[in-house]
Every structure is written in structure tokens, then in C-alpha cells.
């Protein structure tokens, strides 16, 4: 009481009980402050690193979010995340330079200004081809194209969120329109599921190109189409045949049987180190046709077939550039 008395002079007419309470409160506050006052720095020397608290916290947090370790909080409106991309870039670099030794041709001929609609042959179960195209374009031009992901991949847990963080969107006209309108280039694979499900026997023979959606989109948006022939992706997962009985059990469109999968288990899902070639063709502009041409079904179908033939010839050129599945012919680098 003695300490409080000197500081809190009771006002005239104040209720004595309230004065007593105020004094007790002041004393309690002082005691709490005293108890939590920081000791001098010298007295707190420990063997732990200075930021151990922060480190421990971040470790705990990482353990807590083990199942979904996307790194940053900032994604763009399509779910691409620059930070998880840069975290994966060393792996992509390794795949591009060392593992598949991707030989890129024709990309320097692209005009300065985008956006473009990249159209390529689809191959393989996982969209490695899309990732490699995006990587090649990003290296040459600094901007990363987005890529379309087939419907059935979108339903796959673990794979689909990861692809979205890397710039994948579901393959549908609404998404492509929105991306192009926002100024992003888009890589599409009009063969769709038919391309991914190609067996080794049918490799590099392009399947039908959807229903002409790509050409219609290019005409409507006035965006040039860049055909790309991808060689190598179809040997990364050579599908010997498709098993349908286990596919029905798991509700999948098909279960691929490759020389390594499912025999080696998850290890068999690793792609084979084939030699890759990416051939970029000259951009095709449909600007002189006018936007109404998109409604001319016969014209769209003819242009689609022409586009398919262009990509087929690029693929054939890419195949000629290789000596074998595993190496380039001499003189091609």
C-alpha cells in the first residue's frame, strides 16, 4: 500500500473502496512488469543460434504443411506461382539440359511481340512436353507461356495443383481466351487425350486435331499460331499397350503399360532419357481472313488439317535430325 499511496492521491469525494482498488491494481501492474522485464543481454547467452526461435518455428510450420508444400502465398489469377516455379527451376534445367538434352530449332525466328498460340503434338502421360516448351520459350524470350492440361490430368490429386502452380490450366476455350486476352502466350495440344494415349507403334503419327477449336480461337483473337514439332516425348513413356481391366477398377481412362511401368512400381513412372528435339515452325497468321471466318466451319476444318500437316512435317524433320532415339545425328546440335 505504501508505494501506491504516494502516487495515487485520492480525489476529494472519491469512494474509499474504489481508491483501494485502484491502488491494488497499480501495484499488480508494477509487479507483472517487473516479472517480465527483460534481463540484460549479456546474461542471456546461450549455445543456440540467435534466430533459433524463428528457425524452429519455420521447421514446425514446414512439418505441419507437409502434404501441400507450395512455397509462396502469391499466385496469379490462374494459380501460377513464381516462387514454386523458381524452386523447381533447377530440376527443369536438369531435365532440359542434361536428361533430355533438348535441341531447340527455329525459336529465334519468332517475331518480337506476342502473344502466340503454340500448337504442338501431344505425347506422354505427364505433360513433360508442355513443361519443356514453356522452358525453351522462357529461356529464349524471357516470358513464360501457359499450357493447357488435359481434363483427366486435372482430376489427378497431387499432379493437378502442382501443374497449376507451374502455369497449367485446364484445356478449354474459356481459359485460352482469358489467357490470350491477358497477354499470355498459351501452348495447346489439340490431339488431346488421343495423343497422350498413343501406343509406341503409333508414335509421331498425329491424331485428329479436336474439333477445330484452336484455329477458331486464333482467328477470333487475331493471335498468330506457332506450330511446334516435339520429338522425344513419345519415347519418354513408350506405351506398349493399354490395360483396360485395371483402368475400370480405378476409374481411369486407361492404364499404360510401358517397358518399366508398372513392373518397377513408382520407379517405372520415371521417363526414359530419350533425345529430344523441339522444332518451332514459322508463325501462321489468320489476321487477313477477318474474324467472321471463325464461323465458316469448312474453312476452319481445312485450316486445322493444314496446321496438323505442318506439325507433322516439323515432327518428321525433328526425327530426321536424330541418329537414334538416344542421340542426335552429327551436324545437328
Q: Under the rule (CB under 8 A), what is the footprint of other proteins?
A: 61, 64-65, 67-68, 70, 72-73, 75, 77-79, 81, 151, 154-155, 157-158, 160-161, 164-165, 169-170, 172, 174-175, 178
Question: 146 CB contacts (<8 Å, ≥6 apart)?
Answer: 78, 80, 134, 167, 168, 169, 179, 184, 185, 186, 187
Closest approach, Cβ 19 to other proteins, in A, equals 34
In DSSP terms, 47 is beta-bridged to none
Closest approach, Cβ 155 to other proteins, in A, equals 4
Q: Which of 283, 149, 299, 150 is nearest to 215 (CA)?
A: 299
Question: 3 CB contacts (<8 Å, ≥6 apart)?
Answer: 27, 30
Closest approach, Cβ 54 to other proteins, in A, equals 10
Distance CA 76, CA 10 (A): 62
Choice between 81 and 234, CB closer to other proteins: 81
Closest approach, Cβ 27 to other proteins, in A, equals 28
Distance CA 223, CA 185 (A): 9
Closest approach, Cβ 180 to other proteins, in A, equals 13
For residue 139, what is the enclosing H or E element?
helix 128-141
Closest approach, Cβ 160 to other proteins, in A, equals 7
CB burial of residue 156 (10 Å; 0-12, 13-18, 19+): middle
Cβ atoms of 196 and 263 within 8 Å: the answer is no
Choice between 61 and 112, CB closer to other proteins: 61
Choice between 15 and 53, CB closer to other proteins: 53
Closest approach, Cβ 221 to other proteins, in A, equals 16
Strand segments, DSSP code E, in the chain are: 103-105, 117-120, 146-149, 168-170, 186-188, 225-231, 241-243, 255-257, 277-280, 322-324, 327-328
Amino acid at each position: 500500500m505504501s508505494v501506491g499511496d504516494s502516487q495515487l492521491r485520492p480525489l476529494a469525494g472519491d469512494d474509499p473502496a474504489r481508491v483501494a482498488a485502484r491502488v491494488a491494481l497499480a501495484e499488480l501492474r508494477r509487479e507483472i512488469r517487473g516479472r517480465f522485464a527483460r534481463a540484460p543481454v549479456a546474461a542471456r547467452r546461450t549455445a543456440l543460434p540467435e534466430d533459433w526461435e524463428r528457425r524452429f518455428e519455420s521447421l514446425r510450420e514446414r512439418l505441419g504443411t507437409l502434404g501441400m508444400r507450395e512455397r509462396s502465398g502469391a499466385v496469379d489469377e490462374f494459380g501460377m506461382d513464381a516462387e514454386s516455379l523458381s524452386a523447381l527451376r533447377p530440376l527443369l534445367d536438369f531435365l532440359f539440359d542434361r536428361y533430355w538434352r533438348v535441341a531447340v530449332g527455329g525459336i529465334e525466328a519468332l517475331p518480337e511481340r506476342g502473344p502466340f498460340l503454340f500448337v504442338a503434338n501431344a505425347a506422354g502421360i505427364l505433360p513433360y512436353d508442355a513443361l519443356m516448351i514453356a522452358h525453351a520459350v522462357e529461356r529464349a524470350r524471357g516470358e513464360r507461356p501457359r499450357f493447357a492440361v488435359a481434363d483427366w490430368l486435372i482430376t489427378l490429386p497431387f499432379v493437378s495443383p502442382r501443374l497449376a502452380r507451374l502455369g497449367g490450366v485446364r484445356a478449354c476455350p474459356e481459359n485460352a481466351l482469358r489467357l490470350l486476352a491477358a497477354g499470355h502466350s498459351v501452348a495447346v495440344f489439340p490431339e488431346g487425350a488421343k495423343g497422350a494415349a498413343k501406343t509406341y507403334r503409333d508414335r509421331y503419327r498425329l491424331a485428329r486435331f479436336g474439333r477445330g477449336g484452336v484455329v477458331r480461337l486464333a482467328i477470333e483473337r487475331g493471335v498468330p499460331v506457332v506450330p511446334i514439332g516435339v520429338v522425344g516425348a513419345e519415347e519418354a513413356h513408350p506405351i506398349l499397350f493399354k490395360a483396360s481391366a485395371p483402368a475400370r477398377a480405378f476409374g481411369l481412362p486407361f492404364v499404360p503399360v510401358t517397358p518399366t511401368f508398372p513392373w518397377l512400381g513408382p520407379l517405372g513412372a520415371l521417363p526414359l532419357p530419350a533425345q529430344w528435339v523441339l522444332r518451332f515452325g514459322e508463325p501462321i497468321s489468320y489476321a487477313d481472313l477477318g474474324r467472321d471466318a471463325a464461323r465458316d466451319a469448312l474453312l476452319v476444318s481445312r485450316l486445322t488439317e493444314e496446321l496438323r500437316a505442318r506439325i507433322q512435317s516439323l515432327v518428321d524433320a525433328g526425327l530426321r535430325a536424330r541418329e537414334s532415339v538416344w542421340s542426335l545425328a552429327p551436324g545437328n546440335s
